[in-house]
Amino acid sequence: MEEKILNKDLKIKPNLENYEEAYRNFNWQDYHDELEWWVPGKLNAAHNAVDRHANSFRKNKVALYWVGPNDERQKYTFLELSRLSNKFANVLKKHGVQKGDRVFLFLPRVPETYISFLGILKTGAIAGTLFSAFGPDALKDRLQDSGAKYVVTNSELKERVYKIIGELPELQKLIVIDTNQPGEREISFWNEMSEASDKFECERTEPEDYAFMLYTSGTTGKPKGVMHAHYAVLQQHMTAKWVLNIHEEDTYWCTADPGWVTGIAYGILGVWSNGASQVVYAGRFNPEKWYSILEEFKVNIWYTAPTAIRMLQRKGGTELVKKYDLSNLRDMYSVGEPLNPEAIMWGKEAFGLVFHDNWWQTECGAMMITNYQCLPVKVGSMGKPFPGITASIVDDNGNELPPREHGNLAIRAPWPSMMRAYWNKEEKYKKSFVNGWYISGDKAWKDEDGYFWFEGRADDVIKTSGERVGPFEVESALVEHPAIAEAGVIGKPDPERGEIIKAFVTLNEGYEPSDQLVEEIKQFVKKQMAGHAYPREIEFRDSLPKTRSGKIMRRVLKAQELGQDIGDTSTMEEY
């Protein structure tokens, strides 16, 4: 497909003005002064996120604007967040929580989620986050494997924990945020908070001490506990500063849940480390509500997911956007899966701004390859590596490949926010690295200008009639057809061609499934792509399986098509 390059009219001087110079001269050690350290060489991510601002001119600056699902409103300054998280740290200490213990959060996006997360890190314990959509089996896998000592939850969600509590020998008690009459195995969050001191001496953690853990789901097997260190906050801080382009007067909105790594790295640590005010919305996806939040809070910086962008495009298009005053909106970002070119071009038309896509994973801990305000955007590209990050395309033995050759997307280890382990899975962790490279499991290629282009997960890439086809490229072509809202593409075994391309699509309003539409779509993609790279089968669906972070789950589509076990679906949720 024809490469489109978008240049931007910058509304404000970017924090990163010269990418090439910064990349050439970058050394992580040179940026340690961006954080507050204790001698000798100790730091705490929660201290850097809130406490240092509570001790500065920002103490009365609003850190969190919270909007509840029923339009409830609360706001908290950096000083208030600091004191409340100190109180929770004292509650944990009172009940015997020690450095290295695992304390999990099983909550929706309520203020207690953020207060608790910070408090856990202050004690030196390890915070784990769980999606509020998890059922008992998903909870058991994570709480049992991690040996969680306490779970912070609410009266509704605690019932799911009680269904499996007999299988969690290390779990001591539940800390319930909305009860004044705790049960035998419960602690009342606010009863204890009311009695706790708001003074707490933050644990002077080593940079390599574990701060938080997140479980990732694979195609097979149990979810893996990805461990991140306090030192990750350095990369989260620098990427928030240079990529998200945060300035002192900005208001920022990240739509990600803290159960997902983006919701921690850029919904808590990296953004608050930069002293930004941020909005959290706890309600369900709704285009009108989202636009009203952007308008009401005069949001300058918006970080969201490709699925959400496509849903906004589908539900109201550019006309709905124009009904709101979004003149304060300056920078827009996307993460979770590649953002297809059509969505980027729609964003440019609807908002007059470019969505900046970026690539990273739970294992990476922070942005790795991204688009920048100071560089042109090649539409559909992941962008370029962040300064201090060495990315490449390598073969299965870890040997680098030349431009335009397809291979494994790999990152040279180590980097500050790199996962330090898979909990209790040392051998699996070691297998993630080959010849000094972290092998991401994604297939990609790099062009002559150093921009990276996503092809698909290693097990998603389709080989049809001897040719390799990346599913994302086909999906991008499909959603350019006016009838198609979303598309997921798989390789289906075929005795003649090895595999054929099969597409699963949802339709925009006003279109109905028909044989004629199937043929029209096939010809449309064939003209966009190539004779071999079009879907020979198309199935219409009302919705596509997605993770809570918005990724279309191709492996679920493939398993359903082939009548196989769909594996772990604990992170699956539809918008």
- List the CATH number of the domain containing 502: 3.30.300.30
Does 70 lie in the same domain as 196? Answer: yes
Q: According to the model, what pLDDT value does residue 574 have?
A: 43
How far is Cα 271 from Cα 274, in angstroms, rounded to an integer?
5
How far is Cα 424 from Cα 512, in angstroms, rounded to an integer?
50
Does 480 lie in the same domain as 439? Answer: no
Does 476 lie in the same domain as 349? Answer: no
Is 256 among the domain residues? yes
Is 568 among the domain residues? no
Structure tokens at 299: 């949001």
- 50, 82 in Cβ contact below 8 A? yes
The pairing of strands 224-229 and 210-216 is antiparallel
- Could you say which DSSP state residue 338 is in? P
Q: Is the peptide bond before 182 cis (omega within 30 degrees of 0)?
A: no
CA distance between the termini of the chain:
29
> 446, 477, 499: which is the final residue of a domain?
446
Per-residue pLDDT tens listing for the chain (575 residues): 446 777 666 778 999 999 999 999 999 999 999 999 998 899 999 999 999 999 999 999 999 999 999 999 999 999 999 999 999 999 999 999 999 999 999 999 999 999 999 999 999 999 999 988 888 888 998 999 999 999 999 999 999 999 999 999 999 999 999 999 999 999 999 999 999 999 999 999 999 999 999 998 654 467 899 999 999 999 999 999 999 999 999 999 999 999 989 999 999 999 999 999 999 999 999 999 999 999 999 999 999 988 789 889 888 889 999 999 999 999 999 998 778 888 899 999 999 999 999 999 999 999 999 999 999 999 989 999 999 999 999 999 999 999 999 999 999 999 999 999 999 999 999 999 999 999 998 999 999 999 999 887 777 778 776 666 778 778 888 988 999 999 999 988 887 677 889 999 999 989 999 999 999 999 988 876 666 678 999 999 999 998 766 778 888 998 898 888 776 666 555 43
> 414, 446, 478: which is the final residue of a domain?
446
Q: Which residues, 6+ apart, have CB-to-CB distance to 484 below 8 Å?
A: 478, 505, 506, 507, 508, 521
Is 336 among the domain residues? yes
- 121, 128 in Cβ contact below 8 A? no
How far is Cα 311 from Cα 376, in angstroms, rounded to an integer?
26
Q: According to the model, what pLDDT value does residue 552 have?
A: 85
Does 507 lie in the same domain as 433? Answer: no
Q: According to the model, what pLDDT value does residue 197 have?
A: 98
Does 434 lie in the same domain as 469? Answer: no
Does 545 lie in the same domain as 401? Answer: no
Does 67 lie in the same domain as 147? Answer: yes
SS3 262: helix
How far is Cα 216 from Cα 214, in angstroms, rounded to an integer?
7
Is 571 among the domain residues? no
CA-to-CA dists, residue 126 to 110, 241, 282, 423, angstroms: 20, 25, 24, 12
Q: According to the model, what pLDDT value does residue 2 have?
A: 47
Is 454 among the domain residues? no
> 416, 446, 476: which is the final residue of a domain?
446
Q: According to the model, what pLDDT value does residue 527 have?
A: 76
Does 423 lie in the same domain as 487? Answer: no
How far is Cα 200 from Cα 465, in angstroms, rounded to an integer?
65
Q: Is 562 exposed, middle or buried (0-12, 13-18, 19+ CB in 10 A)?
A: exposed
SS3 415: coil
Domain that holds residue 476: 462-562
The count of other CB atoms within 10 Å of the CB of residue 111 is: 20
| Number of domains into which the chain is organized | 2
In angstroms, how far is CA 106 from the centroid of its own chain?
18
Q: Where are the beta strands (DSSP E) in 198-339?
A: 210-216, 224-229, 251-254, 277-281, 301-304, 331-334
Does 490 lie in the same domain as 412? Answer: no
Q: According to the model, what pLDDT value does residue 1 have?
A: 43
Q: According to the model, what pLDDT value does residue 206 have?
A: 97
> Which residue, 162, 229, 235, 550, is CA-closest to 420?
229
Q: According to the model, what pLDDT value does residue 575 have?
A: 33
Q: According to the model, what pLDDT value does residue 99 have?
A: 97
Alpha helices in 270-389, H assignment, sequence order: 270-273, 287-296, 306-314, 317-321, 341-351
Q: According to the model, what pLDDT value does residue 201 have?
A: 97
CATH number at residue 187: 3.40.50.12780
Q: Which secondary structure element, helix H or strand E, spans residue 355, and what is its range? A: strand 355-359
Give me the residues paired with residue 370 across strands: 358, 384
Q: Which residues, 6+ apart, have CB-to-CB distance to 251 below 8 Å?
A: 65, 276, 277, 278, 279, 297, 298, 299, 300, 301, 328
Is 569 among the domain residues? no
The pairing of strands 437-446 and 433-434 is antiparallel
Q: Is 537 exposed, middle or buried (0-12, 13-18, 19+ CB in 10 A)?
A: middle
Does 485 lie in the same domain as 442? Answer: no
Does 193 lie in the same domain as 245? Answer: yes
Q: According to the model, what pLDDT value does residue 291 have?
A: 97
Is 418 among the domain residues? yes
Q: According to the model, what pLDDT value does residue 568 have?
A: 63
Does 488 lie in the same domain as 442? Answer: no
Is 258 among the domain residues? yes
